[in-house]
A and B are shown apart, each in its own frame.
Chain A
Amino acid sequence: MNGLQASDLHISVISDIIFDPYFPPLIMAYFGKNARIYPIPYGEHNNDENRKQLENSDFVVVWLNLEALYLRACDALYLQIAPDQRIIESIVTSCKKLYADISAYSNASTLWLLFEDYFDKLSVVTGYLYNAFVDKINVELSNALKNDVSFIDLKRLIAEVGIASAYDPKGKYRWNAPYSKALVETAVNEIHKQYLIEKGVTKKCLVLDCDNVLWGGILSEDGVENIKLGGSGFGRPYQDFQRFVLSLHYHGVILAICSKNDLSDVMTIFRNHSEMVLKEEHIACFQVNWENKPDNIKWIAETLNINLDSVVFIDDSPVEVEAVKSMLPEVTAILYERDSVYDKLTCFNLKSNVSISDIEKRNETYRTNQSRETLKSQYANYSEYIEALEIKIDIHEALPIEYSRIAELTQRTNKCTNGKRYTVSEIKDRVACDNVKLYSLSVSDRFSDLGLVGALEVRKDILILFCLSCRALGREIEGKLLEFIAYKHQLHKIIFKSTGKNEDIKMLLLESFPNATLTNPENG
């Protein structure tokens, strides 16, 4: 139950089964006491009251039960007949129709639990021969709505609690509530996880120790040739962990190394060891020395321009973990243990459809920051340094292909932002409004292409969105962005909501637009 406690969050649940009495208290336990749940029986979502509930929803969950809804379709399972394509098509068509109705009434994000067939008892006598029926429905359904809906793999959730514990036969025959409390809780946990992902509530940076974390053994004592790392034997768990860490990198997590070693030894491994999955280019920052780790982690956070509360640190030494916990309580410090380390990383809530090229650009910026620092030291005057960076800025009206990155930017940015957060569907709605101008800002310099690092939205004389990635700070880009707004628009109002870390940008906006007033629409 980490992260966000939602304020006045309205969740509609469209279903053909009952989840009570467990669902409401669990939703409140995970989302906070201001969360409200509106059950909408499947087939009744078009009536006036339910339409109104959908319109007011922040989140819509669809959970349809194949057995309750399409009992006849289940004959394909029970009678061992080949799945009839017409049945599959009719189920998918009715689901598409349901989604069309939801999207007509609501802009809310939709989470859809896919179908499952573990209720089937036939396996008791026939064994577990594969029946593709439900998987075919799920594949067709998820393909049909893949751009609009996030799908949850209900089979996986059932596997998590175990088939024997997932069902409640008494509830099923009493009041059409086929699932156990344990499964409903696992589902609520997953819904909460997807909510956090949607809202961008996640840690940003993973700082890793090396010895007995990325490889087995002590590099300075055992030597480069004796460390354990490989695809089999004692080196396997370390390589598997590296593979997992690499997947975090490709889901947008910034990686840094903090190790008590000689830098040259560590770099030799990263550059030359054939079994390393993590390479030098995946690491944004190496802080390898014999100094204390809390100071090194602080330095990493400063260099990367991120807050300490966005940092997760993993080390195999309980002493180091405790030192970081006590000296940097904002950092999430985790003890590396081969089998349990993965379960301790639930603080990362990562989107699965991130752009690899954006991530590579982001990492490149962090890695090339060192070159920028070197360049800076060569110039006594800051403006000369900025000139030498050969910064190129491109501000243009945002293209649909950029909406996803802009949404991500609004969710991730806490410092240089007016506090406005958007989802992709909200952006689509905004740009469809009259007089709304949404701009994106891309930056490159002589060291790297930073990509899309800023966004602006202005409606008439109101600045609705101002958002600049921390990667772009310190290069006077914010000044250019403000000049651009002043040149294009006469602002009289600026939307501003505190993130707890954006006080500086509030002052900057007030100084730049002295005739404009700040307003927070949430305060009325």
Chain B
Amino acid sequence: MEMKAIIDGILDIINENIENANIKHDQLDEDLSQRGMDSIKFISIVIALETAFEIEYPDDFLLITQSNTLKKLADIVSETLKKKNTEGAAE
């Protein structure tokens, strides 16, 4: 999956889960915890990402500080998808 499609999908999930977040494509490094992402909303976002991209979000990135920007989330999702595809191909 292309990075743009991943970012589009993540943006939709962020804006659905954080009221008035209004995060846009170019705000890759905006700190989401400054835009209303508390621990409960973070849980909702992680579960929504898992459902939308059919991935298992890695436990190593479950601290908010590790996943608090659009760029960080996109990198994690992209890496996880790559890993999943490689493992799938190996099987």
Contact = CB atoms under 8 A, between A and B. Distances in A.
B55 interface: no
A174 interface: yes
B62 A21 contact: no
Contacts of A173: 59
A20 B47 CA distance: 10
Nearest to B39: A175
Contacts of A39: 40
A175 B64 CA distance: 12
Given A21-B40, A21-B43, A39-B40, 15 more contacts: A18-B40, A18-B43, A20-B40, A20-B43, A20-B44, A21-B44, A21-B47, A21-B48, A173-B59, A174-B59, A174-B62, A175-B39, A175-B43, A175-B62, A177-B43
Contacts of B48: 21
A39 B59 CA distance: 24
Contacts of B62: 174-175
B11 to A, nearest CB: 18
A175 B45 CA distance: 13
5 contacts: A18-B43, A20-B44, A21-B47, A173-B59, A175-B62
Interface of B: 39-40, 43-44, 47-48, 59, 62
A41 to B, nearest CB: 11
A173 B43 CA distance: 13
Nearest to B59: A174
What does DSSP make chain B's interface, helix, strand, loop or mixed? helix
Of listed A18, A21, A173, residue having the most chain B CB within 10 A: A21
A253 B50 CA distance: 48
Contacts of B40: 18, 20-21, 39
A175 B59 CA distance: 10
Interface size class of A (residues with CB under 8 A): under 10
Interface in A175-216: 175, 177
Nearest to B45: A21
Contacts of B43: 18, 20-21, 175, 177
A175 B44 CA distance: 11
A174 B62 CA distance: 8
Nearest to A170: B56
The listed residue with most A CB atoms (<10 A of its CB), out of B44, B47, B59, is B47
A177 B43 CA distance: 10
Q: Which of B43, B48, B62 has the most CB of A within 10 A?
A: B43
Contacts of B59: 173-174
A36 B59 CA distance: 30
B74 to A, nearest CB: 21
A330 to B, nearest CB: 39
A39 B40 CA distance: 10
B50 to A, nearest CB: 9
A18 B38 CA distance: 14
Interface string A145-188: 00000000000000000000000000001110100000000000
- The 10 closest A-B CB pairs, nearest first, are A21-B44, A20-B40, A20-B43, A21-B47, A21-B43, A175-B43, A174-B62, A20-B44, A174-B59, A18-B43
Nearest to B43: A20
A221 B46 CA distance: 66
Contacts of A20: 40, 43-44
Interface in A7-31: 18, 20-21
A174 B63 CA distance: 10
B46 to A, nearest CB: 8
A177 B62 CA distance: 14
A352 B59 CA distance: 46
A171 to B, nearest CB: 8
Contacts of B44: 20-21
A21 B47 CA distance: 8
B59 to A, nearest CB: 7
A480 B21 CA distance: 62
Contacts of B47: 21
B15 to A, nearest CB: 15
Nearest to B57: A174
Nearest to B48: A21
Interface in A337-382: none
Contacts of B39: 175
A371 to B, nearest CB: 62
A177 B44 CA distance: 12
Nearest to A18: B43
B53 to A, nearest CB: 16
Nearest to A177: B43
A10 B48 CA distance: 26
B89 to A, nearest CB: 25
Contacts of A174: 59, 62
Scoring A18, A173, A175 by chain B CB atoms within 10 A of each residue's CB, the highest score goes to A175
A177 B39 CA distance: 13
Contacts of A177: 43
